Amino acid sequence: MPKLAVLAINGGEKRCNVVWPTWPMWDDHERQGLLAVLESGKWWYGDRVKEFEEKFAAFQSALYGVTATSGTTALETALVALGIGNGDEVIVPPYTFVATASAVLRVGAIPIFADIQPHTLCIDPDDVARKITARTKAIIPVHLAGYVADLDRLGEIAAAHHLALIEDACHSWGSQWKGKGTGAIGACGVFSFQASKNITSAEGGIILTDNEQLADDCRSFTNVGRRKGGAWYQHFNAGSNLRLTEFQAALLLAQLTRLEAHTLTRQTNADIITQGLRGLPGIIPIENDSRITRRGYHLYTIRLDLDALGITRDRFVDALTAEGVPASVGYTIPLYKNPLFERMSIDPTSRPYLGDRVDYRQVSCPVCEQVCADTCWLFHTLLLADESAMRAIVAAIRKVCENVGELQPT
């Protein structure tokens, strides 16, 4: 008789039967907040926006918060406010959402890719130092999955070369570095409130900083060039209209009431998974840094030893998903391999200031390219389930690893 399949992908019984939490989470706080705005007739950029800016800034231990329409436009705003523009170079990681680099392009600057660290998936300070030129004006570390980049080393590099350190904190609501919230440890930081994020109003973003002048400059850009003390129709720069609505602020204020508890739950549950996978052949651990005093997980990332497993990452993800644990392959190529950057290299006249300075087809970040092939993600919603669900995740991963011989290496 043929052997019965063990793995669910081959017809076996799935290991994990959890009904996972859905996202977004909401209750009467959101309903009442939205109704209050509706009935007030004051829908536009008012007291609730101001209240949320102050409360979220305080939550991240920053002095100032300036909301925007998205994390992308928040990053563009920060770059403009810092005076970064045509021909300037900004060092970014290639393992991130496109906005980290496209925002640089949008202000006329040039993204320079520095590799990531294999044990953090965040930008490698040593490679950052190698990529600095006379044209470099800023570094944008990404706190990938809520793991905080090495802000000590990056801060030292930025200070030594008089560069702006802009934190892309769009995965790190609640994360802390040595007790201080991410977002205002560098010159400034940006957060996203897009639909998948740990606190959401469907779209939206914010810039945090401890620098009052920088906050005022960001506010001016998001508010069509107005400045404090100026007349309503007096515009001081070519700003944009990036203002949040009162409806979005009402949603975010409600979401913020749960963020502390959710952050701690995700962190506790992630620790259970990490402990359960420690020492498992086929899994490359991503251990926490003691300087990260709180981590606001947006993702739980798992690196695979593909040589030990003998299969592709995609095959592993298919098998794990079949076991009842929804998983994603995440970023499958470095940013510089996107058509956007390949096209720029073929036709640099599309960016006249690029000239022959960068040919993205020649860029190589070997760690990132390996990570794009061997890393999978579990989304933050899974980390809001109970402890038994975390044990089930560990059991499902162990089951796939221990029975990997059943999988064809496609």
332 inside domain? no
Give pLDDT tens digits for 349-392.
767 777 778 899 999 999 999 999 999 999 999 999 999 999 99
13 inside domain? no
Give pLDDT tens digits for 197-243.
999 999 999 999 999 999 999 999 999 999 999 999 999 999 999 99
Please report the pLDDT score of residue 329 as a whole number.
Answer: 98
In the predicted structure, residue 5 carries a pLDDT above the cut 80:
no
How far is it, in rounded angstroms, from Cα 217 to Cα 79?
Answer: 11
Q: Predicted confidence band at 266 (pLDDT cuts at 50, 70, 90)?
A: very high
Token pair 């993205």: residue = 360
Domain that holds residue 139: 28-255
Count of domains forming the chain: 1
Residue 90's alpha-carbon distances to 93, 102, 140, 260, in angstroms, are 10, 11, 7, 33
Query: In this structure, what DSSP letter does residue 349 have?
Result: G
Please report the pLDDT score of residue 3 as a whole number.
Answer: 46
How far is it, in rounded angstroms, from Cα 163 to Cα 157?
Answer: 8
68 inside domain? yes
Nearest-5° Cα angle at 71, 365 to 76: 75
pTM score of the predicted model: 0.96
Please report the pLDDT score of residue 285 as a whole number.
Answer: 83
Token pair 């897009």: residue = 194
Residues in contact with 103: Cβ distance below 8 Å, sequence separation at least 6, in sequence order: 72, 75, 76, 79
In the predicted structure, residue 286 carries a pLDDT above the cut 80:
yes
In the predicted structure, residue 2 carries a pLDDT above the cut 50:
no
How far is it, in rounded angstroms, from Cα 231 to Cα 308?
Answer: 67
CA dihedral (321, 325, 330, 332) in degrees, to 10, reads: -30
Please report the pLDDT score of residue 1 as a whole number.
Answer: 32
140 inside domain? yes
Q: Which two tokens stand for residue 312?
A: 């592709």
Interval 283-295 mean pLDDT = 94
How far is it, in rounded angstroms, from Cα 309 to Cα 283?
Answer: 9
Length of the chain: 410
Residue 261's alpha-carbon distances to 221, 264, 267, in angstroms, are 34, 5, 10
Give pLDDT tens digits for 243-260.
999 999 999 999 999 999
Q: What is the CA radius of gyration of the chain?
A: 22
Please report the pLDDT score of residue 410 as a whole number.
Answer: 54
Nearest to residue 114, comparing CAs of 408, 369, 390, 365? Answer: 365
Residue 95 near residue 84, CB atoms below 8 Å: no
In the predicted structure, residue 89 carries a pLDDT above the cut 70:
yes
Residues in contact with 365: Cβ distance below 8 Å, sequence separation at least 6, in sequence order: 94, 113, 114, 115, 116, 127, 334, 336
260 inside domain? no
**What H or E segment, with its residue span, contains residue 113?**
strand 110-113
Percent of the chain with pLDDT over 90: 93
CATH code of the domain in which 184 resides: 3.40.640.10
200 inside domain? yes
270 inside domain? no
146 inside domain? yes
In the predicted structure, residue 348 carries a pLDDT above the cut 80:
no
Please report the pLDDT score of residue 357 as a whole number.
Answer: 80
Nearest to residue 340, comparing CAs of 108, 112, 98? Answer: 98
Interval 313-341 mean pLDDT = 97
Please give the mean pLDDT across all residues of the chain.
95
Residues in contact with 148: Cβ distance below 8 Å, sequence separation at least 6, in sequence order: 122, 172, 175, 176, 177, 182, 289, 291, 292, 295
Interval 282-295 mean pLDDT = 94
Token pair 């070369």: residue = 161
Catalytic site positions: 197
Give pLDDT tens digits for 41-76.
999 999 999 999 999 999 999 999 999 999 999 999
Q: What is the DSSP string of 94-144?
A: SSS-THHHHHHHHTT-EEEE--B-TTTSSB-HHHHHHH--TTEEEE--B-G
Interval 138-158 mean pLDDT = 98
Please report the pLDDT score of residue 409 as a whole number.
Answer: 62
Token pair 């390996």: residue = 370
Helix ranges (DSSP H) in 44-122: 47-59, 71-81, 99-106
**In angstroms, how far is the first alpha carbon of the chain from the final one?**
26
Asked if the bond preceding 141 is cis, omega within 30° of 0, the reply is no
